[in-house]
């Protein structure tokens, strides 16, 4: 099936301490419905936090995508787009952290998914999202799960245009 128009979605996983936030992984969707997923290499300035018990900093440093590469990929994939988020996390602050760390402008605007799926209340959207995650047997802690669930919701709401008539995401 050929998708001709798919809303863009983004989800960021992060760790939070008393000192601040640390983005650890990100997923976003593309115009054709595909998704990208990255582990984020932290900026040195973010590592001033005393303790991050739920984060393997060595893993992030060894396997993470450098922030400049992540920022460039987001510039290529999401220029001048409205990108929808579940609205549950501090996504604005996390995206801002990434772009400030590399001195680049954010190429897209973030908006809550409730601005896209207007036929449901925010709580109903979240209930439907959680139900999809459960039905699909997905790990709710992965950013790609959040993006995939939002893609499914948009498809169910008739917001995904296809070149053919039928099929699932």
Residue 150 lies in a domain: yes
Rounded to two decimals, the pTM is: 0.88
- Residue located via tokens 């900093």: 57
Domain CATH for 23: 3.30.420.10
Calpha distance 105→97 (Å, rounded): 11
How many CB atoms are located within 10 Å of the residue 51 CB?
A: 9
Give the number of domains in the chain.
1
Residue 168 lies in a domain: no
Q: Which domain holds residue 157?
A: 3-162
Calpha distance 141→52 (Å, rounded): 17
Determine contact, residues 15/54, Cβ cutoff 8 Å.
Answer: yes
Residue 90 lies in a domain: yes
Q: pLDDT at residue 131 above 90?
A: yes
| 67-94 tens-digit pLDDT | 999 999 999 999 999 999 998 789 999 9
Residue 115 lies in a domain: yes
Residue 88 lies in a domain: yes
């Amino acid at each position: 099936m050929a998708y001709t128009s798919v809303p863009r979605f983004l989800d960021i996983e992060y760790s939070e301490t008393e000192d601040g936030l640390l983005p650890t992984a990100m997923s976003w969707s593309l115009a054709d419905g595909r998704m990208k997923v990255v582990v984020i290499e932290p900026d040195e300035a973010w590592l001033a936090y005393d303790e991050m018990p739920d984060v393997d900093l060595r893993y992030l440093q060894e396997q993470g995508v450098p922030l400049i590469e992540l920022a460039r990929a987001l510039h290529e994939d999401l220029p001048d787009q409205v990108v929808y988020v579940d609205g549950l996390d501090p996504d604005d602050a996390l995206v801002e952290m990434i772009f400030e760390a590399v001195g680049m402008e954010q190429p897209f605007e973030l908006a809550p998914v409730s601005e896209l799926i207007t036929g449901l209340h925010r709580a109903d959207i979240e209930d439907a999202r959680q139900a999809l995650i459960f039905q699909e047997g997905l790990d709710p802690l992965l950013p790609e799960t959040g993006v995939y669930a939002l893609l499914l919701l948009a498809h169910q709401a008739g917001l995904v245009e296809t070149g053919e008539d039928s099929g699932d995401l």
